[in-house]
Structure 1
Amino acid sequence: MPLKNNQKKHLRGLSHDLHPVVMVADKGLSENVLAEVEQALEHHELIKVKLRGERETRNAWIDQLVSSTGAELVHRIGQVVCLYRRHPEKPVIQLPK
């Protein structure tokens, strides 16, 4: 389910104080990095990921992260991307309608 604009705005506000929990660098999106992102989304729902690479490479990584994890792209600023995926059983973050 895609996020509405007011929901993205709410999540952006919540993400200000977060620090990146996963960093993608020279070796790209390996299976281990994707597993870490999956685990972080499962535990936190809202995470930041730092992407160290050229702009085109970062865009490809973002597309791959969103498609492989089923997360929603909340926003991206420079080398940091914020992702959200609601926990199926015990949601922590309450989104506005």
Structure 2
Amino acid sequence: MRGKSMSDYETLDLKGEHCPDTFVYTKIKAEEIGYSGGGKLKVIVDYSPAVESIPRSLAQENKGYSVTEVKKAGNNIYEIYIDIPPLE
């Protein structure tokens, strides 16, 4: 089984952004990746409510997005890992 490589992920750095902008920017980037054949996205935030709101809002999109991991990466820095299927 192949493990996750950080190089497999496109990175979206949203430090300094707040809701709802964190979700809006994530959604735009996820759709861009999805319409380009799918892939993986790492979202970096420093606004703790986004750690819950981004995965919840992506699930409500019903496009098959899968949040595979959410982890604390530093002092008030969080990383959200998302698998994005191809979109049509």
Same fold (TM over 0.5): yes
Q: Using the aligned pairs only, state the percent identity.
A: 9
Change (3 A) 1:29 1:76: same
**Unmatched segments (≥5 aa) in structure 2:** 73-77
With normalisation by structure 2, the TM-score equals: 0.60
The reply to whether residue 67 of structure 1 matches residue 66 of structure 2 is no
| Bigger Rg, which one | 1
- 1:25-44 equivalent positions in 2, closer than 5 A: 25-30=16-21, 33=25, 34-43=27-36, 44=38
Give the number of the structure whose residues are more often strand, by fraction: 2
In the TM superposition, residue 41 of structure 1 has moved relative to its aligned partner by 3.8
Equivalent residue pairs, number: 78
Let me know the Cα RMSD of the aligned residues.
2.9
For the residue of structure 1 that corresponds to 2:60, the secondary structure is helix
Q: TM-score, normalised by structure 1?
A: 0.56
Matched, 1:87 2:75: no
Which has the larger helix fraction? 1
SS at 2:55's partner residue?
A: helix
- In the TM superposition, residue 47 of structure 1 has moved relative to its aligned partner by 1.4
- Unpaired runs of at least 5, structure 1: 1-8, 90-97
